[in-house]
Each structure stands twice: as C-alpha cells, then as structure tokens.
Amino acid sequence: MVSRPSRNRRVVVGAAIGLLVLLAGIWLGGHPNLLPSPIRSAFVDDSSGQLVNQALDIIQRDYYRPVDRAQLVNNGLAAAVDGLDDPYSQYISPADYQGFARASPHISGIGIDINPDRRGLAVVDVFPGTPAAKAGLMAGDVILDVNGDSLAGHSSDYDSSLIRGPAGTQVVLTVVRGSARHVLRITRASFTAPVADDRLVSYRGVKLGYVQLTTFNHDGAGDEVRADVEQMLHQGARGIILDLRDNGGGLIQEAVNVASIFIPDGTIVSTAGRNSPRQVFTANGGAISTAIPVVVLVDHGTASASEIVTAALQDRHRALVVGTHTYGKGVFQEVQELPNGGALDITAGYYFTPSGRNLGAGGVKEGAGVTPNVYAVDNNPGAGPDEALIIAERTVASEVR
C-alpha cells in the first residue's frame, strides 16, 4: 500500500517531467533542424527541403565540372522569385545585399538616376559634376549593357549593381541615344547623390518655391524637403511646386514625412497585406500653413511612394496635381534578411489613399494611377522651356490670395 505523501511525490515528479517534455517539444518544433534525421522525417514535413538538398547534392557530386553550391542556391532563389512574375520582387544575393545601403545617399559610381526599361536602364537624370556628366551621358539615353553584359531581362537593382563599384575603377557602358549607339568608358568616383533640389521662380511677378525630389529611398528625404520648403517661404515664396516627375518612390515612412509638410493631421496612407494587419499612417504634425497653395507635378515615372504623396495631397484637397497619369503601382515591398546574408525584397501587400483608392490594377499590374487635375506634358525634355513646369507655375500662381 502506497502512502499519500509518496503518491503525491510521484504525481509532482510526473507532472514536472511532462512539462519538460512539452516545453522541449515546443522548442524543437521551432528548431526542427536540430532533430536527428529519422525523428525529423517522422515529425516534420520537410519533403521540399529534402528534395532541394538531394538535387543540390547530386549536382555537386555528379555534374561534369565542379560547381559552387552557394552560387547554385543564389541562382535557385533568384529563379524562384522570378517565378512569381512580379517586376517589383527580387532576391538579393549576399554580395549585393552588402551594398544595398538604401538609407545612405553616399554612393560610389557614375552619378545617374535610372528607371527600368525593357532594353536595360533608361537614364532619367545625370547629376552635375559626376563621372557620368563628364563622360557625356544624357537623360533619355538607354544603357544596353555594362562591361559586355546585356541588361535586358534583369531587375533594375541587379543592373544598377553592375554599374556601381569602387571609386577609381572603370566601367564600360553601351548606350543607345535615338538610333545611334555609343560606347562610354567611365571612371567611377565617390559622391553624394542629391535628394532634393530647390529654387525660387517667378510667374508674372508672383514668387514661387520649386522643389524637385528625386527619390524617397534615403532616410532624411522628408527632412531635406521640409528644410527647402521652409527656406523658400522665408525668402518670400507664396506658393510651392513639388516636382515628383520620374521619382520611382522608396520608403513609405519618407512619403509620410513629405506629405506631412503640407497636411497638418489625419490619414496619409494605409497598408494591408495577407500576413500583416491593416496599418494607418497619419500626419506627423508641424505642417506649413494650409493657406499656402501647393501643386504636385507628376508624370508616368511618378510611382510608389511618390504616388502616395500625390494621392494624399489630392484626396485631402491640399494640392492640385499637374501633369499626366502617374505609374499606377498599388503595392508595397518589404525587405527580409536571410540566413545566408542575402535578402528577399518581395511584394507584401497593398496601399490605399486616404479616400480608400488603390492605384494599381490588382496585384502587381499597373493601374490608372493618379489622374491629374490639370493635364500637362513636356514635349521636349531637356530641350527648350519645360512646358509642364510652366503650367504648374501658372496653376499655383492662380491659387495665391
């Protein structure tokens, strides 16, 4: 006969062992790679991982020449993302991710701003004083190959990584301008990429502030625009033109920061993803007076974060939009680091304007974008007067009271 104290001890010990087994099971469930292979196979459905590893083992062991397993993995991940048929998603290899540096305006390269083109990279701006400017590269040129490597069919980030490189090294570009091809040999240099440019302009005696923002990819872009706007207002500007033409976007938070310069409170943009709850981004505060009229100047190259700013100012009746329909991108991307030192930059969800609009066409297709309040186009970029800017000046000047 077992005494009550002895029975209680057994119950306590049994419960403690059960708890330890439960905790160990939970922990190992999150770390299946630490389980012995037979046990892992019994409890974890790792058939896909086993298949991939078996295929890699066969290639590495039996292929007629030696292969780099890490390179095979890189190529496989890139192909998997390419299989999504998503022009905005990409796999970034460990080597490329080290130089991704999205938050830094300090660059070692040739000094251009580019947009994707089916043939390679379209040059939309050449920064003054940079190697590209000195070599004669011009806005409107299309870069077809770099050092003999064709750019067609690759992501713009991959193509850009071929052009960037250490200061003092040389890069050879094949460029098409109109119907003529040119080969340019350019020596890379270190420089600080301009994020915003500003100047005072006058339309029929009315002083206006003009700010051109080239990218939202750098931390502090919003602070730079705010400083430029406040400086021009201090110098007597009575209206503001925000030029977002050919601005392909960047960081959502910087879009919120820029929109907050003009919108005092309330919603700027909201986002929602399949694996993330709806998130609403509101104005930061500290906006300039709403009595100061604003025009946003856009074109088909205005995309992503640029469209967020444009749509927010239009929806909130804080600015008139001048130009053409914007690009029509209604999704956003997130960068997630991988154990191999690389990263996935993948489409994670949709964004919505304050009125609830999504500017895309469902998924990663181009949509209608933002419809301008006043249609304007510069028919000869880089040659003669900027016709769209003149219309923007006239529009904002007419709003000055």
Annotated domain spans of the chain:
106-192, 196-399
Same fold, 106-192 and 196-399: no
User: For residue 105, what pLDDT is reported?
Assistant: 52
Class of domain 196-399: alpha beta
Residue 3's pLDDT band (boundaries 50, 70, 90)?
very low
User: Highest-confidence range of 45-49, 147-151, 371-375, by mean pLDDT?
Assistant: 371-375
pLDDT of residue 43: 44
| Residue 12 confidence (pLDDT) above 50 | no
Is 104 part of the annotated catalytic residue set? no
**Catalytic residue selected from 3, 329, 365, 398:** 329
Read off the amino acid at residue 4.
R
Residue 246's contacts (CB-CB under 8 Å, 6 or more residues apart) are 113, 115, 124, 125, 214, 299, 301, 302
Q: What is the mean pLDDT of the chain?
A: 85
State the average pLDDT over residues 146-155: 84
Please check the confidence at residue 95 and state whether its pLDDT lies above 90. Answer: no
**Top mean-pLDDT range of 1-15, 212-226, 272-286, 307-321:** 307-321
Strand locations in 155-213 (E):
170-177, 180-187, 189-192, 196-203, 206-213
Report the topology of domain 106-192.
Answer: Pdz3 Domain (2.30.42)
**Rounded to whole angstroms, how far apart are CA atoms 237 and 229?**
9
| Per-residue burial over 242-274, b = 16 or more CB atoms within 10 Å of its CB, e = otherwise | bbbbbbbbbbbebbbbbbbbbbbeebbbbbbbe
pTM over 0.85: no
Q: Which pLDDT belongs to residue 157?
A: 66
112 forms beta bridges with 126
**Matching residue, tokens 């998603």:** 89
Name the phi and psi angles at 74, rounded to 5. Answer: -60, -50
Residue 103 has pLDDT above 60, yes or no: no
User: One of 89, 155, 304, 306 is an active-site residue; which one?
Assistant: 304
* 3-state SS, residue 260: coil
Among this protein's residues, is 156 annotated catalytic? no
**pLDDT the model gives residue 230:** 96
